[in-house]
């Protein structure tokens, strides 16, 4: 898939990923042992910049921006006799979405566990996966500048360009129909019926929506002449242009990439 870089800059296909940091101060404490680590700041001297990210209770406020190395929670260690912090270790910037304190079943000891829910805003990267509602999956291969993308006679440029060889193998014919229906709906300004019992052998979905396109002066099959964004010349090919819903999938490069310098 080729994505329109200008559309991405305007927010197209942006999404949020939620991750939770779980911190347990009592995981190494044996049953019956006294609590020696207390959530919050102590009376000792500690770096003043910790207060910029954490509140009086030693926990971050909702909406706080955290970066690599920023503190997530402060706690006082009785054994060490000083205040310490647990830090954020990811290279992606995040916003604090939710903070929860978790107690024990007996409810007789002070809180020793907490979770910090983080929201990471992500724009699409090369290698991220997308899919239409018909299972036509694809991977972002290029972010193409809008100035070089092909355009129609009305000046419209596509947000997504996909390879036509994707259709013979997966046979996602419903995606063609959705494209026709979406285009006809945009031109006439009314919703389209997508139930499977609306069309039959006497009148197919392609004929129904094709007639609507003809009534608006467009090609019966949804094709449009396109012009090269580089040379301005008309492209000598049938190009199918329409409106299709695409969704971004959970499979992202930031979660999957692996790097190594040596080895097999």
For 143, the 3-state DSSP assignment is strand
Q: How confident is the model at residue 32 (pLDDT cuts 50, 70, 90)?
A: low
List the domain boundaries for the chain. 15-122, 124-253
DSSP 119: E
The per-residue pLDDT for range 89-144, each reduced to its tens digit, is 999 999 999 999 987 777 677 788 899 999 999 999 999 999 999 999 999 999 99
| Superfamily covering domain 124-253 | DNA-directed RNA polymerase, subunit 2, domain 6 (2.40.270.10)
Share of the chain above pLDDT 70, in %: 97
Phi and psi at residue 147, in whole multiples of 5°? -65, -25
Q: Is the pTM of this model over 0.85?
A: no
Q: Which fold has domain 15-122?
A: OB fold (Dihydrolipoamide Acetyltransferase, E2P) (2.40.50)
Q: What kind and span of H or E run contains 97?
A: strand 94-102
**Cβ(127)–Cβ(253) below 8 Å:** yes
Tell me the C-alpha distance between 160 and 14, whole Å.
14
The per-residue pLDDT for range 154-205, each reduced to its tens digit, is 999 999 999 989 999 989 999 999 999 999 999 999 899 888 788 888 888 9
Within 10 A of 36 (CB to CB), how many other CB atoms are there?
13
Q: Left if phi > 0, otherwise alpha if psi is -120 to 50, otherwise beta: which for 106? A: alpha
Distances (CA, A) of 114 to 60, 62, 79, 135: 11, 14, 21, 39
């Amino acid at each position: 898939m080729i994505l329109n870089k200008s559309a991405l800059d305007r927010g197209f296909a942006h999404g949020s990923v939620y991750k939770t940091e779980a911190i347990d101060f009592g995981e190494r404490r044996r049953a019956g042992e006294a609590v020696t680590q207390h959530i919050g700041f102590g009376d000792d001297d500690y770096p003043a910049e910790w207060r910029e990210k954490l509140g009086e209770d030693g926990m971050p406020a909702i909406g706080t921006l955290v970066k690599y190395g920023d503190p997530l929670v402060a706690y006082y260690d009785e054994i060490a006799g000083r205040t310490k912090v647990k830090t954020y270790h990811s290279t992606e910037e995040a916003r604090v979405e939710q903070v929860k304190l978790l107690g024990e079943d007996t409810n007789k000891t002070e809180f020793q566990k907490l979770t910090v829910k983080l929201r990471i805003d992500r724009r699409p990267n090369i290698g991220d996966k997308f899919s239409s509602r018909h299972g036509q999956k694809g991977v972002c291969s290029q972010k193409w500048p809008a100035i070089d993308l092909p355009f129609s006679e009305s000046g419209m440029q596509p947000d997504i360009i996909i390879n036509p060889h994707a259709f013979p193998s997966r046979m996602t014919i419903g995606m063609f129909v959705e494209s026709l229906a979406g285009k006809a709906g945009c031109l006439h300004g009314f919703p389209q019926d997508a139930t499977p019992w609306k069309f039959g052998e006497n009148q197919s979905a392609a004929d129904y929506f094709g007639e609507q396109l003809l009534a608006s002066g467009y090609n019966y099959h949804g094709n449009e002449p396109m012009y090269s964004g580089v040379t301005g010349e008309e492209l000598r090919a049938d190009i199918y242009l329409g409106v299709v819903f695409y969704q971004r999938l959970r499979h992202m490069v930031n979660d999957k990439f692996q790097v190594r310098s040596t080895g097999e």
